[in-house]
Amino acid sequence: MGKEGRSWTLRLAGLLAPVTVWLGLFFLVPLLFILAYSFGTSGVYGGITLGFNPSNYLKVFDPLYLEIIIRTFVIALLNTFLCLLIGYPLAYFITFKGGRHKHTLILLVMIPFWTSLLLRAYAWVVILGGDNGIANRVLQFLHITDHPLTLIFTPQAVMMGMVYSYLPFMILPLYAALEKFDWRLKEAAQDLGASRWHTFWRVTFPLSMPGVIAGSILVFIPSAGEFVIPNLLGGARTMMVGNLIQQQFLSARDWAFGSALAVMLAVLLVGAIMFYVRRVGAEKLEEV
Amino acid sequence: MAGEKRISRGDFLKVVGAGAVAGSTLSVLACQPNTTAQSSGGGGGGPEEKALNFYNWGDYVAKSTIPDFEKQTGIKVTQDFYGSNEELLAKLQAGGTGYDVIVPSDYMISIMIKSDILEPLDMSKIPNFKNVGDNYKGLPYDPKNEYSVPYQWGTTGILYNKKVLGTLEPSWDPMWDPANKGKIGMLNDERETPGAALYKLGYSVNTTNKEQLDEAEAELKKQKPLLRGYFDSTQNRPSVVNGDLLLGHVFSGDAFLALSQDEDLYYIIPKPAATRWTDNMAIPKGAEHPDNAHKFINYILGAKTGAELSNYTYYNTPNEAALPMIDDALKNLPGYQLGPSVFERLQIIQDVGKATREYSTLFTAVKSA
């Protein structure tokens, strides 16, 4: 051990130094700032006096804000569920039926990332908006409806926009998990008399669980912090925590409360994810 | 509260703004010593470098204005843009921006004066201030024009489809009329929209009276089911033009732009009251080119430049010498030239200090209702 161990430690330290400095400076320090701010007192015109002022956290429990937090989590959960519902069959199809087009199909899933989410959200405003907008004209042309429908600035439009934006984050980890799936297990199950349905639920799905967990987390976290889509596609009629935090930092100039909200959101997210991984993840993984 | 002006990228800038705030929060501590060091640079002697940093709203200056100024003076102007007063404030508070001339709205001027981040103006270097009409001087946010001079002004009213709705009386009632359900767009603005409810109820737009604010909140909650949503003025304008909305809560410049394109539209400044806002030029503390900044401000207040500006932005000019040169087509639009009876019912949104947060909470409660 002795000398060799030390040189190995040094090498490891050398390798980890860049990421430690980077994350420390640009992740940990800002996070600590927000934590410190959340106990401060906001100046009337922005800025903050540091101290220990827990009232920012008490304010989070005001029914007005609590309702927004609960709504945010409901929307994020629903979004995660819908992405899984739509994404799973697609990932399954690409993996098992994609054949030689598999890589092309996965590339197609990634194409939306080539443009900014903001631009794509504006594109949806153009498509869905207007009695004479593209979507309404197509629907009327196909005789699906005989009068223009209200397609935008509704909670449904927000939901659609969220599923649209986050679906790739679900499909990619699912694909990665299913890719590794050993076909022979499926054949073995069927040889032993399991029906297709049975094979899927008892063999394929449990084995893809790491992908389900990773996808769910990747979708859930950013959707809980979403604030662009509710404004652009929801007509700002529905507020999510992200909008509330933005408002506190800009127009309300209450940085302390905004920070407290951000800390609460982070704590709730960590809690929800630990609960999820423990309950769903670990058990399922152990079963396998 | 001239929220978003003519920026079609309003929301983009908002997002960038949010990012900027996040960034500036970090840099507050880092930049502190820097800021103090820079603020002493303002009064330094010697001739200034031929440069000027102009920080303005997006698309809010005529195309010829800056090149002409550069030609006349040899001063090279660098422009940068912001999307909201709050974004501007956050940037200046973070310090070390290097901007020489900024264009905050009225209530923001008083916040900046109270926060001690504006340089007093030297009026001897701005002789063209004489061109500014009496109605636009000495306003409550800077009663002696010690820190600011007006750039453009306008009103906040209702742009509507006259072809469908016929001629409307100037009133806030159509914005609460169930007959227009789903065809009304209000501003996504914590002062203007509660303000509309306060006006409708006959209260001051700057009230801090709890009962009056509660009444306004109830009024807005009543209105919400009738709305298509809360938008920027620049979003309400095209929606009224393309028929998505019958009525849009807009800034006058957006209204005039729409009116000049479509004769079926009309603009009203509702009774009993509506907002009149002013954007102003000011010099932030620590500006590195204060002499050039004064030259630039004086140039903007010139008669010809003032007219060019308004002919481009479609907003009103505070510059009386410029009035004769305003395009007739613009001048004759409804609501552009205001008679004394209309002018008198206009109110100025002022900074309400701590009560700002009451307005935030009120609007949050309405939006999440």
Are B368 and A44 within 8 A, CB to CB? no
B295 pLDDT above the threshold of 80 = yes
- Does the residue B76 lie in any domain? yes
pLDDT value at position A4? 67
| Eight-state DSSP code of residue B128 | G
Segment A228-251 mean pLDDT: 90
Same domain, B84 and B218: no
3-state secondary structure of B139: coil
Same domain, B92 and B193: no
- Say what the pLDDT of residue A152 is: 86
User: Considering the domain boundaries, does residue B1 fall inside one?
Assistant: no
**Which residues in chain B are closer than 8 Å to A228, comparing Cβ atoms?**
11, 15
Tell whether B26 and B134 lie within a shared domain. yes
**A68 contacts in chain B (CB < 8 Å):** 364, 368
Quick one: pLDDT at residue A194? 87
Residue A234, pLDDT > 50, answer yes
Q: Return the pLDDT at A282.
A: 58
pLDDT band at A196 (very low <50, low <70, confident <90, very high): confident
Region A246-260: what's the mean pLDDT? 90
Q: Which of A98-107, A163-172, B68-77, B305-314 has the lowest mean pLDDT?
A: A98-107
pLDDT in tens, A44-93: 887 788 999 999 999 999 999 999 999 999 999 999 999 999 999 999 99
Mutual angle of helices B192-201 and B210-223, in 10-degree steps: 100
For residue A151, name the pLDDT band (cuts at 50, 70, 90). Answer: confident
Rounded to the nearest integer, the mean pLDDT of chain A is 89
Residue type for position B187: L
The answer to the question of residue B120 being in a domain is: yes
For B295, the domain range is 10-32+49-153+278-333
**Stretch B237-256: mean pLDDT, rounded?**
93
Judge if B62 and B120 occupy the same domain. Answer: yes
Catalogue the long-range contacts made by A58-64 (C-beta closer than 8 Å, 24 or more residues apart).
A59/A257, A59/A260, A60/A260, A60/A261, A60/A264, A64/B361, A64/B364, A64/B365, A64/B368
Q: Do B172 and B261 have their domain in common?
A: yes
Model confidence at A140: pLDDT above 80: yes
Q: Is residue B342 part of a domain?
A: no
- The pair of structure tokens assigned to A25 is 């400076």
B117: CATH = 3.40.190.10
pLDDT of B21-48, one tens digit each? Answer: 444 443 433 333 333 333 334 444 567 8
| Interface list for A 42-101 with B (CB within 8 A) | 44-47, 64-65, 67-68, 71
A254 touches chain B (CB under 8 A): yes
pTM of the model: 0.84
Asked which of A115-124, A263-272, A279-288, B344-353 is least confident by mean pLDDT, the reply is A279-288
Query: How far is the C-alpha of B315 from the C-alpha of A97, rounded, in Å?
Result: 61
| Mean pLDDT calculated for residue range A158-165 | 94
Domain count, chain B: 2
Residues B122 and B199 in one domain: no
Q: Token digits for A115?
A: 């443009």
| B175 inside domain | yes
Asked if B77 and B216 sit in the same domain, the reply is: no
Predicted local confidence at residue B281, as pLDDT: 98
In a domain, B91, yes or no: yes
- The span from the CA of B299 to the CA of B306, in Å, is 9
Q: Are residues B137 and B226 located together in one domain of the fold?
A: no
Is B258 inside a domain boundary? yes
Q: Which residue of A has its CA nearest to B10?
A: A232
**β-bridge mates for residue B281, sequence order:** B149
Look at strands A48-49 and A41-42 and give their pairing. Answer: antiparallel
CA distances from A259 to A222, A244, A256, A262, B92 (A): 18, 11, 5, 5, 20
Lowest mean pLDDT among A210-224, B17-31, B90-104: B17-31
- Going A155 to A156 to A157 to A163, the CA torsion angle's sign is positive
Closest CB from A33, A68, A227 relative to B368: A68
Does B268 share its domain with B292?
A: no
Q: Is residue B363 part of a domain?
A: yes
Closest Cα partner for B301 from B33, B38, B65, B15? B65
Q: For A6-28, what is each residue's pLDDT tens digit?
A: 788 888 888 999 999 999 999 99
B171 bridge partner residues? B271
CATH code for the structural domain at A57-287: 1.10.3720.10
* Chain A residues in contact with B357 (beta carbon < 8 A): 252-254
